[in-house]
Structures are given as C-alpha cells and as structure tokens.
Structure 1
Amino acid sequence: MISVAEDAGAAVSVTPSRGTSLLPAVALTIDVVVLTVAMIAAYIGRNTPFFGALRQQHLPEITPIIGISWLILLWGYDLYSRETFEPASDELRRLCEASFISGGLVVVGNYLAHHQLSRAFFMLAYGIGLVGLVLGRLALRTFLHASRSRGHFMKRVVIAGGSDQVDEVAAVFRRESWVGYEVLGALTPTGVGATRGGVRSLGRIDDLVSAVVTSGTDILCIAGGAGVSATALREVMWQLEPYGVQIAVAPTMTDIAADRVRMRPIGGLPLVLMDPARWADSSSGAKRAFDVVVTSLILFAMSPVLAVAAWRIRRFDGGPIMYRQRRIGLGGQPFDCLKFRTMVVGAETMKAALEAEHGSDGMLFKLKDDPRVTKPGAWLRKYSIDELPQLFNVLRGDMSLVGPRPQVDAEVAMYDNGMARRLNVRPGMTGLWQVSGRSDLSYEDARRLDIYYVDNWSLGQDLSILRRTVRAVFAGHGAY
C-alpha cells in the first residue's frame, strides 16, 4: 500500500530546479530581439532603391502589429513553457508552424482589408524573422545542453522499480547527461542498500509518495519492477499534484529511435507502439547509389593523400603497402578488407603473446601503445588514413561508407543473438561507435551502439555519422 506521511507537505518547498524557471523568459527575450531586428531590417530594406519606389505609407503602422501578432502565436503554440526545453521536444516544428500561420494570417488580413502590403517587406520580415528565431532557439538549446553536461539546469529524478531496472534507467540518464536528469536515488521493493549500479536507496516503493516529497525531486520515474498498478499510479499522481512533481513511466525497452515510437491512447490507456527494426531498409538502392557517388568523389579528392601514405609505408621498411585481412560482411559472407599496413611485417604472429600479456575480451583487442605499430603507421591510424583503401571495398559492394565495423571469423563466432544482428547490414568504414569515442569505448558501449545503428537505420543517421566522422578524424581522439 503506497502511503504518504501526514507532515510531508512541510518537508520541502515546491520550487523548480535552479535556473530552469528562467528559460522561458530568456527564450521570450531572444524572440523579441530577433523579431524587432527582423521588422526594422525589413522596413529599412524595403526602402532601398533595389526594391523600387515605396507606393504605400502604412509600413510604420503595420510593422509592430505583425511582430506582436507573431509573438502571440508563438505563445499560443506553448513555446514559452518549461516543458518546451525538455529533451526530444518538437520545439522547432511548432516554431515553424506558428510562423507560417502568422504569415498566412497577415496575407489574408491584408487581402480582406484591401491593403496592399509590400511583398518585399513581407518576404524580408518573415525570411529574416524565421531564420533568426530558429537560430536563436538552436543557440539556446546548444547552451542548455552544454550547461547540463556540466551539471547546471538539472532536474532531480527519483527512480522507482526493481534494482536492475533502476540501474538501466539511471545508466541512460548518466550517459546522456545533456538531458539534464540528475538521479537522486531509488525506491525499490525492499528498500535495502544501494542498487548494484550504485544508485542509493531512498526507501521502499510502499513509501513512494512520502520519500518523493521529502527528497525534493522534480520527476518521479516509474521503471519496470515497480509493481505499481494503474489505479495506484493514479493515486500517486493525485497525491503529488500539490508538490509539482512530474510523473514519467519508463518502458522496459531501451535504444529505440524516437521516430520508431508512437503514442496511441486507447480508452484512456496510453499504448506505446514501436515500429519494426529498419535494418532491411539499409540494403535499398538509395543507400547503394549514395555510397558509390560519394566514394568516387572521396577517392578523387584524397588521391594525393593515398599516394603519400603509400610512399611513406614503402620507404619505412620496404614491406608491402597494403594489408589484406579476411573479414565477415553482409549475411556472414567473407571478403578481403583492405587497409594500409600500419604494423611491422608478421604482426599477427605476435598477437597471441600480447593478448596473454595485456588481456583481451576476445572482441576488441587494442593496445594504446602497441609495439607492433610502425612510425608511419601511428600517423596513419591517428587520422584514420589507414582505412582509406576500404573505399575500394565500398565500390565493390563488400562494404558501405557507414555501418558496423567488419570483424574476423573468430570474433563473429563469439556473437550472441544481439551481436549477430550486425550481419544484417553491410559493414562500414565508419559507424556510430567510431564517432562516439572510437577505441576509448568499452566493448559493451561499442556493442550497444552497433545494435542501435542496425535497428534504427536511416539515411539521415548515415549523413549525421559522416559529418561527425570528419570532426572525430581531425580531432584524432580515441584512435590507436
């Protein structure tokens, strides 16, 4: 039975996390400045000789009306509430929708009033205004994400559920620190000690309301294993209403892309529907055409780098320039993966001794200071130039520009059901885990990111990974 202490109301003053209450005011200030600048710039621009003589004299009167009505529509689309700055918000969609409706109302209003509004002024005002509003919101959200990653503008969260489920949810909140969720503690069925993941206990789920109120949390997250029925959860929501605590229910599934999740309320029951995995779409003709075109352009642009790399390898020890290794590709089919040689000749014969000396999990054996790496090889690896010959693998259809990295037979033989899903797509020259830390990531993190990529594939995600790859390569972090 979930209960609440009689004096719980006096235990905590109900205020939002420090700083979050200021965000709507900051957003409103930015929008006012942007729209003021847009209206002034449009008015001045329309009066330039480039647009010809001004035939009507109503712009000074209508300019503030347009700006104010635009702001009213933004307010009506709930763009100045604290919820707007939550993770996964559709803030930009609503901003654009409100702006287009504002423009439409201005056009209709001028038509009905038989007022000839300058087309140049209209295009300048809404062009400058919309771009400025979007850039202002992006700047504010970028600042907010960076601040949350440093521990500012945080929301306090208490997680109720089984110990393992609490750890899963807490791990996501810690990993994605930009969302701004600080885990205060957990409520478990036993309420004894901390969870195995180190989340401290705040008590038993039976005392949920009392513990939440006294902890001063902003969000109560109900995870799997909580054992709270729909009726009891509704009672909890009613009891927490005076304290301004939000209720979040975390489903037992994780690593599902937002565009695969849909909410469908049926008879008051909020069903979370998840679309099937999208790995089959990665074999589409569009992705293959994209690979061929972009790879050809990269080969042409990087041909001088390829020539310099080959010259340095040959000049260093006179050994072979290329290294060919049998890897496993789409559907478990083997192929010869090409790389510039970065290790001494006979490096494979030294691997077993190094694994015995330094240890290996059997999947991702990499040494930060591998004695087998040559001097030019270290440079090639740092900037991933050693991988460039795989562009020919992409042209042949063995690989794609983006996908999980291809692995050898021995590694594939150790796959469990989850890892075997990597074979549903073509292996790639770069992938999600490469742009998320490269060799600095643990095997578990690399595994999770590869499976996420396979299940949630999209061409947009590929483009994002390629963009982030350029940044990761030039930074040289995590490559060895």
Structure 2
Amino acid sequence: MTDAIAVTFAVVVAYLVRFDATGIAAVSGEFSPSYLSVSAVLALTWLAALAVGRTRDRRVLGSGPTEYSRVFNMTWRLFAAVAVVAYLLRMEIGRGYLGFAAPVGLGLILAGRFGWRRWLHGQREAGTHQSGILVIGHRSKAARLIGELNKNPRAGFAVVGVCVPTGEIVEGELIGGVPVLGAMDRAAEIAERVGASAVAVTGADAITAETVRQLGWDLEGKGIDLALTLSLVDVAGPRVLMQPVSGLPLMYVDEARFRGGKYVAKSLYDWVLAAAITVVALPVLALVALLVRVTSPGPVLYRQERIGKDGRRFRIFKFRTMVAGADTRLAEVLAEQGIASVGMFYKPVNDPRVTPLGRVLRKYSIDEFPQLLNVLLGDMALVGPRPQIDAEVAQYDRTAHRRLRVKPGLTGLWQVSGRSSLAPEDGIRLDVNYVENWTPFGDLLILARTVRAVLHHENAR
C-alpha cells in the first residue's frame, strides 16, 4: 500500500512539474506518447519491478539493509532501463521528469518501509508477529542456534521446538528452554503439527545431504521454508558465490578487498559530502568554538595522535570537552575508579575532567564535528571503525587488527549498533564485519542511523 502511494505521488508530481499549461505535455522524439501515458506506465512498471525483485518477500521484510538494498537496486535498474529504452526509441524524456521521480519515489518508498519496519519491530518485541521455527540438529549446535535466534527478538523468529537425531531423544528434555519434540526423521510432520513457518537445519553427523534433500521433499506444498545454517559468520552476500558442481552446491567466498575503484569512489563522495556538511554547519561550528573558548580556559580544539589505515599515524581534531591539561590527570582518574591501566576500549564513566559544556557536546557527539577536517585531509572517512591511540592498538589481536585495513571513520557500525553499551568483543566483530563487507548503500544507512543515534543521544558518554 505505502509503495503504491509513494510511487503514485512521485510520478504524479513529476508529471505536474513537466505538464505544459497549453495541454497534455508530450515526449518529443520519433515515438512521442504523452507524459500522462509515460507516468502511468512508469508507475505500474515500478511497482512490478519491486514485486519481481522480491522486495516484499516475507523473509526480508523488516530485515533493514537487505530489504532497503533490494528496493534501491530495483529502482535504479528500472530507471536505467527507461533511459536505454528512451534512447533506442529516440524519446527525449525530460531529464527533470526522471530526475525528480526517481529520488523522490525512492525516498518515499524507503521511508514507508522504515515506518513499517519500526512498527513490526515493536510488535515483535511485544511477542507478536513472530515466525515459528523448528530447529534440527545435535544438542550443542541446536542450543547455540536457539541462543542466537533468541538474542534478537526483532528478527521475528520464535523457536517452537527441536528435533534431534534418533537415539538422542530424552522424554521431557529441553534444549535452550525449548522442548525436544521428536526425531529429525519426523521433522516435516512435527513442523506441520506445531505450525512452524520454517525448519532450520544445523550441523549433526546424522544430517547428510540426502537427509536434507528428503526433508525438502517432505516440506513441499506445506508452506514451510527450509533453512540451512552455515558455520561461516560475518560474510556478506556480495562475497559469496554459489556454484553447482556435479549437483553439489559449492560455496566460494571471495577474499576481502581493500583497494580499487570502489574505494576511490568512497573517498570521493566522502570528501564531497564532508565539504557540504562543513559549509552548512559552519555557523554552528563557529558558535560551539566560541562557547568552548569562553566557558573554560584552554584551546578550542583538542588534537591527539591516532592510528589510521595500515597503521599510519595522524592528528585527530575534536572540540575540547575536558579541562586544559586533562591528559596529565589520566592516571589519577583511573586510580580513583580502581583501574590499573587503560584498556583497549576503556572510557571513564563520570570523568571529572569533562567540563559542563563538554558533557553536552559529548551527549550529542558535537565534539566530533571537527573531524570533518580529517575527512577533507584524507586521514579519515565518514564511515569506518573509530580511530584509537597507539596504546590501545598495541593490545589488538589478529581480529582487531583488521580494523586498520580501511580508513577510520567519523561514525561506524559499532557506534550505531549500541555505542558504549556493547561489549568490546561485540564491537570489534561489528567493525570487522563492516571492514570486510561494506557497501556504498550500507554507508548511507549507517549515516542515517547515526543521525538518529545522535538526536536520541543513545548510549553516549
């Protein structure tokens, strides 16, 4: 419904913008239908493209990035196809018409999807609109999968039962708080009986390729999905290629790449967007600088050496939020809080060195805005892992070192996924996931989520 409203609004307004007051505007060229006809066909084709692209697949609705990415991809492909058709038929469709309809329609569609996603997440957190799922596998692996599914209620999965290999069944047994309902050779029957929407198969020696194939046959026509879990985690779809070899699905995982045209494009749009934000925010930045100057003695900007891409050192800029000479009092603050030394991601709570104005600046992350200059200088990106000092980087293990394969960012996946509330190991996993699997569209989503996190000052210190 909201997709149809968004698309209709976009093409109608684009049509009105292009409409000739003397009558119905016509597309010029050898084949010249009216703009009214073009608008009607475009709207219907757009909605059809969203359906063909499976943007409304119940398995991706509410998922966020996957859903938004499908909408974005189908929209730009549609308008690229329109441009090609117009060229081949020599139809000179106004650039203003397409240039208005595409971004406005896309923005409205995504806004509608976002609104429904928020509503759906609220329903799921309240325990409704959940998809029942039956887990099949050995106890330990089934328990691990159940724990992962229960960790995020917004994903919409409610585990309704477990099936284990024959010979392992204990009457009344619970795995991860979920009852064992029977042997896995009766999984299709059990799934239908308990009303499961999907069957998730996790590892067990007794689960062979033939077993999975027969389970798929048993589920045919029942409206129950078959899902297979893999041990490989934090590898995004673009790096995965499925290739059938003699009937066996072979999965290739591309190595993560850290240079090339995609990174050149990222640096370019980072620079352009940072320059635009700086120009727009200049009056606010000047006001903040003045407030920092008059509310406490010391410099306006705080400069500190941080470690960037591939271990390169650079000076980061921030509005000063602490009293002058705060660095010399770090040991004192740590001692007061019973901390022997600085941890990899340690940040003092209720730090007495922070000024009253500094607390406000930190609450809304305004102190980070001067790092736009670091982006313009090429030391940082808008999105990426946050840069750290040498003492923290010295504590990195092999996993954490992956954070240094790209430019550090003004914001990142860790920051929009919980900020200070996340455990360091979870934050590192998110950062490494971003480093190895980032996409331009994913960066846009992180920037949008950053705005929301800043406005709501979520978990800020």
1:349 to 313, 331, 334: 331
Distance 1:291 1:131, change over 3 A: closer
Of 200, 213, 216 in structure 2, the residue corresponding to residue 221 of structure 1 is: 200
Instruction: Give CA-to-partner distance per residue, 1:221-266, whole Å, 9 cap, x none.
Output: 1123464111111222223335432111122222222322333334
Alignment of 1:51 onto 2:58: no
Report deviation, 1:421. 0.4
Q: Name the residue aligned to 2:305.
A: 326
List per-residue Cα deviations over 1:422-463 (Å, max 9, x = no partner).
111121221111122322323233112101110012333333
Q: Which residue of 2 aligns with 1:335?
A: 314
- Counterpart for residue 399 of structure 1: 380
Matched residue type, 2:321:
T
Q: Note if 1:473 corresponds to 2:454.
A: yes
Please give the root-mean-square deviation of Cα atoms over the aligned residues, in Å. 4.9
Residue pairs, 1:43-442, within 5 angstroms: 49-51=22-24, 77=52, 88=66, 90=70, 138=110, 141-150=113-122, 151=124, 152-163=128-139, 165-166=141-142, 169-170=145-146, 173-174=149-150, 177-188=153-164, 190=168, 194=174, 201-203=180-182, 205=184, 208-225=187-204, 227-241=206-220, 243-281=222-260, 284-344=263-323, 345=326, 346-356=328-338, 362-442=343-423
- 2:436 is aligned to 455
Distance 2:252 2:140 in 1: 24
Structure 1, unmatched stretches of 5+, are 1-25, 112-117
**Residue pair 2:46, 2:75 contacting (<8 A) in 1 also:** no
| Structure-2 change in CA distance of 1:145 and 1:227 (3 Å) | farther
Larger Rg over CA atoms:
1
Does 216-225 or 94-103 show the bigger shift? 94-103
Structure with bigger RCO (C-alpha 8 Å, 6+ apart): 1
Change (3 A) 1:289 1:96: closer
| Distance 1:423-1:163 versus aligned 2 partners, 3 A rule | farther
Contact 1:425 1:454 (C-alpha < 8 Å) held by counterparts? yes
SS at 1:279 equivalent:
coil
Rounded Cα–Cα distance in structure 2 between residues aligned with 1:75 and 1:386 = 41
State the alpha-carbon separation in 2 of the partners of residues 454 and 288 from structure 1.
15
Given that 1:278 and 1:454 are in contact with CA atoms closer than 8 Å, whether structure 2 keeps it comes out as no
Deviations 1:283-338 (A, max 9, x none): 94333333444434444443443443333334334234443333222222333333
Q: Is the 8 A contact 2:169 2:182 kept in 1?
A: yes
Looking at structure 1, the residues matched to 236 and 132 of structure 2 have their Cα atoms a distance apart, in angstroms, of 24
SS in 2 for 1:362: coil
Cα distance in 1 for partners of 2:289, 2:6 equals: 55
One-letter amino acid of the structure 2 residue matched with residue 261 of structure 1? V
Return closer, same or farther for 1:72/1:184 CA change in 2, 3 Å cut-off: same
Q: How many residues align?
A: 436
Query: Does the aligned pair in 2 maintain the 1:282–1:425 contact within 8 Å?
Result: no
Provide the rounded CA distance (Å) in 2 between the counterparts of 1:158 and 1:399.
Answer: 45
- Structure 2 match to 1:20: none
TM-score by length of 1: 0.71
Q: Which moved more, 1:72-81 or 1:82-91?
A: 72-81
Q: Does the aligned pair in 2 maintain the 1:328–1:406 contact within 8 Å?
A: yes
CA–CA separation in structure 2 for the residues paired with 1:38 and 1:474: 32
Q: Which amino acid aligns with 1:408?
A: I
Q: Mean Cα displacement is larger for which, 86-95 or 230-239?
A: 86-95
Deviation at 1:42, TM superposition (A): 7.6
**2:50/2:74 contact within 8 Å kept:** no
Cα 1:327–1:97 change in 2 (3 A) is closer
Distance 1:101 1:407 in 2: 45
CA distance 1:302–1:163, shift in 2 (3 Å): farther
Distance in 1 separating the partners of 2:425 and 2:148? 14
Letter in 2 for 1:184: V
Between the aligned partners of 1:132 and 1:308, the Cα distance in structure 2 is 34
- Evaluate the alpha carbon distance shift between residue 211 and residue 356 of structure 1 in structure 2; reply closer, same or farther with a 3 A threshold: farther
- In the aligned structure 2, how far is the partner of 1:207 from the partner of 1:119? 62
* Whole-Å separation in 1 of the counterparts to 2:379 and 2:83: 50
Structure 2 unaligned spans of 5+: 27-32
- Correspondent of 1:445 among 396, 408, 426: 426
Contact 1:339 1:386 in 2 (8 A): yes
Identical residues among aligned pairs (%): 34
Query: How high is the TM-score relative to the length of structure 2?
Result: 0.73
Which residue is 1:7 aligned to? none
- 1:148-190 per-position Cα deviation (integer Å, ceiling 9, x unaligned): 3122433211222345544554465456655433333444555
